[in-house]
Structure 1
């Protein structure tokens, strides 16, 4: 099975990406990160996922392993398939998506294509418990830890998340993030 594809970006639009790898061309729908970080004519190594069923063959391409893992986790949510998971990853960066799930932001998730309130709640319920297994950056880990600490102190999760969005958490320690958030709460 193909897990990674190394190749030169031949075409890149919001509707498709074409990669030339040797004598083969791979076509897929680009994710948010691919659209933001890739340039035509440059070579990249993409993570991939191939699905074969009796009705369809689908080839998905991702900028990195984080996107691929989030995609695979989204597909596990009941009533959410590969096409819907890919539509989500086209419109939002995985870090933002993880933050929405961690903060239980039903309203924000509902704004994504093909996601209504009930599906947003299912995503939060089914992936929120397994958030520890989702790959996240240091910034998202600090955000999650700060959310949990402030929630344990009795603050409402959505209010805490909105306050934390205003703080530059990348440059601060966890203790400083919590201290600044407490001042604003």
Structure 2
């Protein structure tokens, strides 16, 4: 079991990063809530991790905040929620937002997440309501670093690729990115953040109109 990594951040292409630990490069899947807080490439990073072994792959998921890992582990215990979907949920909303979503029984906000159908959303509301007490108040295990912009590339393509990796269909990802992109955005992280926020706003407006 790999529970923590500390090393040099080698690459960062959402939602995957590579961390060099004593010459070994670990590929780590991270939610956007962690990705946006990562240091620059070449700097040291410390992550708490969750290791998943499947017949066809060995996958490592990383988090700056211990609360996010605890919530991730609670989410994957819910029927119909695997690691990829849990990562998507933690990318669309941080831990506190998820708690508020469950407390409000905000079914539409959950269904707005790619891969979450109505039945899965209903299970999440029921089962996570009982699990929240297991992680609320867990101390922050983060490194305290601030986010840093990645190397300049085609930020729209990077953002679309990240959204597709999180479960959005390519056409849907392109539409989301196109809707929020403007000249004030200088990196893909901000573009991804705005796109994810736009899905939350749309679901909130829909809920108020009913």
Q: TM-score, normalised to structure 1's length?
A: 0.68
In the alignment, the residues of structure 1 paired with residue 45 and residue 67 of structure 2 have an alpha-carbon distance, to the nearest angstrom, of 16
Unaligned 5+ residue runs, structure 1? 139-161, 163-185
The list of structure 1 runs, each at least 4 consecutive aligned residues, that deviate by more than 4 angstroms after superposition, is: none
The structural deviation recorded for 1:108 is 0.9
The structural deviation recorded for 1:130 is 2.3
In the alignment, the residues of structure 1 paired with residue 120 and residue 137 of structure 2 have an alpha-carbon distance, to the nearest angstrom, of 22
Matching residue of 1:127: 128
The structural deviation recorded for 1:137 is 7.4
Q: Which has the higher contact order (CA 8 A, sep 6+)?
A: 2
2:28 is equivalent to residue 28 of structure 1? yes
After the TM superposition, which of the residue ranges 18-27 and 8-17 deviates more from structure 2?
A: 8-17
Matching residue of 2:81: 80
Matching residue of 1:143: none
Structure that is richer in helix per residue: 1
The structural deviation recorded for 1:2 is 1.4
2:92 is equivalent to residue 101 of structure 1? no
Q: What's the Cα RMSD here? A: 2.0
Cα deviation digits, residues 93-152 of structure 1 (max 9, x gap) = 1221122112211111111121122211110101112221123479xxxxxxxxxxxxxx
In the alignment, the residues of structure 2 paired with residue 52 and residue 44 of structure 1 have an alpha-carbon distance, to the nearest angstrom, of 24
C-alpha contact 2:29 2:61 (8 A) present in aligned 1: yes
Task: State how many pairs are aligned.
Answer: 139
C-alpha contact 1:75 1:85 (8 A) present in aligned 2: yes
In the alignment, the residues of structure 1 paired with residue 90 and residue 19 of structure 2 have an alpha-carbon distance, to the nearest angstrom, of 19
Q: TM-score, normalised to structure 2's length?
A: 0.61
Of the two, which has the highest radius of gyration?
A: 1
Matching residue of 1:182: none
In the alignment, the residues of structure 2 paired with residue 119 and residue 136 of structure 1 have an alpha-carbon distance, to the nearest angstrom, of 26
